[in-house]
Amino acid sequence: MSHHLKDFNNKLVLVTGAGSGIGRATALKFADLGAKLVICDRHLAALEETAQLLIQKDNYPVLEIADVSDWQAMQWLADRVHAQHGVLDVLVNNAGVASSGDFLSTPIEDWRWLLDINVMGVVHGCKAFGAKMAERKSGHIVNLASMAGYYAAPEMAAYSASKHAVMGLSESLRIEFAEYNIGVSAICPGVINTNIVNVMRAHGAAEQAQAKIADIYRKRNYGPELVAEAIVGAIIHNRAVVPVSPEAWAMYAGKRFTPSLIDVVQRSKPFRKLKDYAQKH
């Protein structure tokens, strides 16, 4: 049996972190393709905003408040979805948070917060919904990693560690779940214009640079809709790893073919001076 999911009409799709950014754009994209949607977020107001946009497309989603870092809550969510709507065709583990700052300035509490959401949140989603997919022997799981999942930038140790973990999990599950005809894809966005920078936890020099970084993301204006399109393409073609944006592709190629060169560039004085200048201006 081979993985084939090319038509999303009336397929059951669940998106976590659907209240904004990539999650919202992904829900809207699947609505355009005729999917039945379950949208999840921790914030009801944001989720209701997404729902209103979906209703304008004549798509009437199921709204679920869920904290992906809470295993019991995710089990209850899966029980409700399976009882009321059936087994998922597509699971998009999108919910995530960000942090920045040098390693010594980042408190352990922030590590736990970030890993609970970015790593265990994905584990919980895969575990809660994957078993029923395996019983049915079909489906697709999409895990939102990041360019930071293969390009470990300085002053982003916690975030990079979490996204490297998502990459490793996705790679392992892709092999395990293939026998159940379940595809697994890791999506790796680069600089995408969402609200994640504004709400990230920043420490040390990164705290002063936070507004500037957010401005760079806004001016770049590479929208979450492009990530949503990449997610759909990853499912249709059953792709393992999908970088999204030119810099994500450049770093992916660089780390694969010239990893030592990337490290040298990052450590070089011109690169560090450029980074210092960007933080100060």
Catalytic residue flag (residue 159): yes
Instruction: At 272, give phi and psi (nearest 5°).
Output: -70, -35
The first and second tokens of residue 210, run together, are 């936070």
CA pair distance 83, 64, nearest whole angstrom? 14
For residue 166, the one-letter residue type is V
Q: How far apart are CA 156 and CA 196, in angstroms?
A: 14
- Following CA atoms 8, 10, 11, 16 in sequence, which dihedral angle do they give, to the nearest 10 degrees? 100
Dist CA 279 CA 258 (whole Å):
27
Which listed residue (60, 150, 151, 159) is catalytic?
159
Q: How far is CA 276 from CA 107, 141, 156, in A?
A: 23, 39, 15
Task: Tell me which residues are annotated as active site.
Answer: 159
